[in-house]
Amino acid sequence: MAASLSILCLGLTGCFDVGSETQALRAGLVKSAGIELEPEIEIGIGAFTFYLAQAGLRFLDLDEEARIALNTLRSGDVGIYHVRGRTKTSNHSRVLASADKIMSARGWDRVVGVVNRHELVAVYSPQDSLSATDVRLSVVVLQGNKLVIVSARSNVEPLLDLALKQSHLLQKVP
């Protein structure tokens, strides 16, 4: 009974599996970019887990800026994979094109894309993402034989307020 309750709690808090964007990118890149992935780490942390962690932060002595930054997170996940075989430079363009196609089909646009000889970095955001209180991003990084996929959901409004407050302080410095 206790084990079943623990499994249920973990499932409800979002600690079992990575989110749908990370799953879609992982599966789609394997299929359309023709790369083979061996998972090293896959972890997803849901909104309830973040809420519990943020509640616990109240008992820690943190700088205001650190507390604000940590309280903006809503959910997130990360997958780190070993790419079997060598990744060739020519594969980076194919991986980026595949990731673009996968995310576009899900209603996401690439907002950043960098491809060079040794690495690839792409950042995606939903097409309907117009609010600073609900920002979602997915990031793909391919370097050598490592692929990292990160997705996060956040309320960046407090960070923007903090940046504005800090900019006023900087203007007053003689």
Which stretch of DSSP H or E encloses residue 40? strand 36-45
Supply the pLDDT for residue 112. Answer: 94
Spatial strand order in the sheet of 135-143: 36-45, 73-84, 146-154, 135-143, 119-126, 108-115
Total count of residues recorded for the chain = 174
Grade residue 109 by pLDDT with cuts at 50, 70 and 90. Answer: very high
pLDDT, one tens digit per residue, over 45-69 is 888 887 887 788 788 888 888 888 8
Domain count, the chain: 1
Of 89, 86, 53, the closest CA to residue 71 belongs to: 53
Neighbours of 122 (CB within 10 A): 22
The answer to pTM > 0.95 is no
Structural domain span for residue 25: 2-171
Q: 140 and 147 in contact (C-beta within 8 Å)?
A: yes
Give tens-digit pLDDT for 123-159.
Answer: 999 988 778 888 889 999 999 889 999 998 888 888 8
